[in-house]
Structure 1
Amino acid sequence: MIVGLIIILLLVLFLPFTKLVERNLEVFLFIMGVASVFVSQVWEWDLIKEALISPINITLAVFAAGLLFRWFQKPIETGILSLSYAIPYRVFIAIFVIILGLVSSIITAIVAAIILVAVISVLRMDRKSEVRLVILACYAIGLGAVLTPLGEPLSTIVISKLNEDFFYLLKLLGLYIIPGVIAFGILSAFMISPRTEKQNKLKQNNETVSEKESYGEIIIRSLKIYLFVMALTFLGAGFQPFIERFLLDLHPLVLYWINIISAILDNATLAAAEISPQMDSTTIEAILLGLCISGGMLIPGNIPNIIAAGKLKITSLEYARFAVPVGLVTMAIFFVIVAFTI
């Protein structure tokens, strides 16, 4: 069983960089999720029911946001463009990423990712700047969303498992997360190119910049998100025996780095398996920070990544070239900080 799970883990890690899997990422992850459940022999009706039901809210949120942006596209684009010209361009980018990262804990990481896509589509950046901004903003969203149980499934599960209050994670991780989100916002401002001549012409001509999505495209994207979340549910259940056998008894600082597998596995599942009420707060900090940061390193690592990459047609290789180095440096910085507090 363990050998089979290791093979599946390697396939999930490397095959998304191939063109065939790249074009069908959600289907591939679904197949791998089903395979992991078969290998682990954990098929149960409750798991199937969870896999069918758990993606519904996320899918409806993505679908509703898609419709709203289609119906109100012109005023949204006009407002974003006007605001981006009212203040210095790089300052606008920094403020946008910081605010989006922090409010993701209230509006959810999914809605934050949809807003990110809408704004980037309007700004019409060069490709390099676009990819970098998506990645850095997704890191900010992935960090910020953990501050309340509303933000993402990971924080909901942790609060429930520890039987803590609404503001527990804000009090526990805020000192790390908020400066981290601000740092990603500032980094975003420096990592993008200056406003292009093409963008200046958009202002002069008072143009909107993107074509309206068809209803078919909105539906297809929503169904892909549904399949993706279902795939994560199966992957999490399938890898549960692997996690329990190899991870649970490790030192928190070792877990911090091993949790880099959150780049391809559902961080909520890992949190559910690793977090215990018997742990002290510094141990919980180390585990959660490792999960939140590494989730931004590859497209399958977090819902915002796959929403933004799918809509803006960012390939796995494009994403990883920038996201992996950023993630490793961020992991190293936070590791030093956590090591002195644990």
Structure 2
Amino acid sequence: MLVGLLIVLLLVLTLPFFVKPIERNLEPFLFIMGLAATIISGVLTKGLVLHILTKPMMYAITGAVLIFGLLFARFQNEIHKWIEKLLEQIPLQLFIFLVVVVLGLISSMITAIIAALVLAEVINALPLKRKAKINTTIIGCFAIGLGAALTPIGEPLSTIVISKLDEQFFYLLKLLGVFIIPGVIVMGVLGILSAGPSGVAIPSYQWWQPITRGMRHRAELDGESVDLEDETISGVVLRAAKIFLFIMALELLGSGFKPMIDAYIINLDARILYWINMISAVLDNATLAAAEISPSMSGLQIEAILMGLLIAGGMLIPGNIPNIISAGKLKITSSEWAKLGVPLGLSLMVIYFVILFVIL
């Protein structure tokens, strides 16, 4: 069993980056890998399938993506004009900083799903080149993935942790806030850097300048497009269907790997768990939290496990729901995401490890 599951994990971590058809069809590939994992571990039963299909969260996420997608499609021009007016008043970099930080912090109250939908729509409307849009989106998703864990409303991981520990609503804010809030602010600063002047689709733009209509007009004359890609109803419906399949795939992967986690991982030292939890880059972090967190653990152990899960969840597209939503909206490929997501995630892992286990 162990060898088979490790092979599945290796395939999930490598094939999307080297096989273009798989990269373009990530959802069905992960679904097949999830089925393979459950078959190898012997947990694929009718009961498991029914359990997954009756989870309200799957339908809530898909419904939110569909409804908000249709709303954004309907009011796309109005959103574009609203953002244009804002950018005539404040510099683009300040706007990006505020978007990343505010969405990162309020995601714990409006849910990571809605925060990601807003992030993707706003980034899509900004006058940025594609690479800058991708990098800013990834950084924004890191911020949302961190911030959403501050309350049990934000994401399934925090809901499960509060339930397992039988703690109060603001327990995670008190426990992790000192690590997460500065991290979200740092993501805002990185968002500014990712959308520097060279990333703006307006020639000779300076960071302190608001973007006037004249500047946009000159950019269009120079052949730089700053227009929105038109959203279609069929595109919104297809994206919602893909996200539903994506979530099913993550559920299957989590269920398939649970026996291995129970047998070999959950009893390890917190410092080792911190690094092993990088597998949340491809596995559902809520499943891992449910398996690893125990009321008998110390505050440091819980901090280490959760911070490892939250940071690693931003490294690859399957690692977190905001990643999946944003990548689907902006058509970001696995390799495009990994170019920034992996080095940024590893850097944060090292920094937080030093803070948790050396400084404190």
2:119 maps to amino acid = L
Deviation at 1:193, TM superposition (A): 2.5
Match of residue 272 from structure 1 = 290
Match of residue 10 from structure 2 = 10
Q: Percent identity?
A: 55
1:332 equivalent to 2:337? Answer: no
Match of residue 258 from structure 2 = 240
Deviation at 1:2, TM superposition (A): 0.8
Deviation at 1:75, TM superposition (A): 1.9
Distance 1:284 1:75, change over 3 A: same
Q: Which whole-Å CA distance do the structure 1 matches of 2:123 and 2:95 have between them?
A: 12
Deviates more, 1:212-221 or 1:225-234: 212-221
Query: What is the correspondence of 1:144-223 to structure 2 with a 5 Å cutoff?
Result: 144-194=147-197, 195-197=200-202, 201=213, 209-223=227-241
Q: Which whole-Å CA distance do the structure 2 matches of 1:32 and 1:219 have between them?
A: 24
Figure out how many residues of one structure are paired with residues of the other and give that number.
342
1:299 maps to amino acid = I
Deviation at 1:201, TM superposition (A): 5.0
1:142 equivalent to 2:145? Answer: yes
CA contact 1:32–1:235 (8 Å) conserved in 2: yes
Deviation at 1:319, TM superposition (A): 1.1
Match of residue 31 from structure 1 = 32
Distance 1:117 1:203, change over 3 A: farther
Deviation at 1:209, TM superposition (A): 2.6
C-alpha distance after superposition, 1:181-222 (max 9, x if no partner): 0000011112213243277558756x9932432211111100
1:298 equivalent to 2:316? Answer: yes
Deviates more, 1:305-314 or 1:143-152: 305-314
CA contact 2:35–2:44 (8 Å) conserved in 1: no
Residue 86 of structure 1 aligns to a residue whose secondary structure is coil
1:92 maps to amino acid = F
Q: Which whole-Å CA distance do the structure 2 matches of 1:58 and 1:263 have between them?
A: 19
Match of residue 92 from structure 1 = 95
Q: Which whole-Å CA distance do the structure 1 matches of 2:229 and 2:27 have between them?
A: 25
CA contact 2:87–2:212 (8 Å) conserved in 1: no
Q: Which whole-Å CA distance do the structure 2 matches of 1:197 and 1:284 have between them?
A: 46
1:226 equivalent to 2:244? Answer: yes
Match of residue 44 from structure 1 = 45
Q: Which whole-Å CA distance do the structure 2 matches of 1:46 and 1:139 have between them?
A: 34
Q: List alignment gaps of at least 5 residues for structure 1.
A: none
CA contact 1:154–1:268 (8 Å) conserved in 2: yes
Q: Which whole-Å CA distance do the structure 2 matches of 1:320 and 1:240 have between them?
A: 25
Q: Which whole-Å CA distance do the structure 2 matches of 1:259 and 1:63 have between them?
A: 31
CA contact 1:121–1:209 (8 Å) conserved in 2: no
Q: Which whole-Å CA distance do the structure 2 matches of 1:191 and 1:126 have between them?
A: 11
C-alpha distance after superposition, 1:153-193 (max 9, x if no partner): 11111111111111111111001000000000011112213
CA contact 1:263–1:300 (8 Å) conserved in 2: yes
Deviation at 1:26, TM superposition (A): 0.6
Distance 1:59 1:203, change over 3 A: farther
Distance 1:341 1:274, change over 3 A: farther
CA contact 1:63–1:222 (8 Å) conserved in 2: yes
Q: Which whole-Å CA distance do the structure 2 matches of 1:75 and 1:192 have between them?
A: 23
Match of residue 103 from structure 1 = 106
Deviates more, 1:84-93 or 1:132-141: 84-93
Q: Which whole-Å CA distance do the structure 1 matches of 2:359 and 2:167 have between them?
A: 22
1:53 maps to amino acid = T
Distance 1:221 1:110, change over 3 A: same
Residue 337 of structure 2 aligns to a residue whose secondary structure is helix
Q: List alignment gaps of at least 5 residues for structure 2.
A: 204-210, 221-225
CA contact 2:127–2:202 (8 Å) conserved in 1: no
2:202 maps to amino acid = E
Deviates more, 1:259-268 or 1:191-200: 191-200
